[in-house]
Amino acid sequence: MDCPQPHSVAKLGRGQKNSDYLLFKQAIDLLNRKAHLELEGIKQILSIKAVLNKGLSDALRLEFPNLLPETRPIVSSDVVIPHPN
């Protein structure tokens, strides 16, 4: 499975969306390497999921109580969008 490429990765900017995309891409890379077939790989994928969207469900948190969330990539948000006029 390939990670879908947005029309332009540069258009993602340098904020939350770019950070989420990088994490999603990391999870897809783990799946491509078949890391999900081992417990350690599942934990890596779940640690990524823990920082995306709504995080882990209650059931997953109970099943993996010692799981540490992945560190969110730091992306600069100092992009200045010029006024159109």
Q: How many structural domains is the chain composed of?
A: 1
Whether residue 72 is contained in a domain is answered as no
Residue with tokens 């882990």: 56
The pLDDT score that the predictor gives to residue 77 is 61
Whether 5 is in a domain gets the answer no
Kindly indicate the confidence band of residue 79, based on its pLDDT and cuts at 50, 70 and 90. Answer: low
In a domain, 75, yes or no: no
pLDDT confidence tier of residue 11, bands split at 50, 70 and 90? low
Counting every residue written for the chain, the total comes to: 85
- Tokens 């823990």 label which residue? 50
What is the mean predicted confidence (pLDDT) over 16-29? 88
Decide: helix, strand or coil at residue 49: helix
pLDDT in tens, 61-71: 999 999 888 88
> Does 8 map to a domain?
no
The verdict on residue 36 lying in a domain is yes
Structural domain boundaries, residue 31: 14-63
Kindly report, residue by residue over 26-78, the tens digit of the pLDDT.
Answer: 999 999 999 999 999 999 999 999 998 888 999 999 999 998 888 887 766 66
Q: Is residue 34 part of a domain?
A: yes
Asked if residues 76 and 19 have their Cβ atoms less than 8 Å apart, the reply is no
59 falls within a domain: yes
The whole-angstrom separation of Cα 38 and Cα 75 is 31
Q: Is residue 80 part of a domain?
A: no
Q: How many angstroms separate the most distant Cα atoms in the chain?
A: 55
Given a cut of 80, is residue 13 above it in pLDDT?
no
Q: Which two tokens stand for residue 50?
A: 């823990």
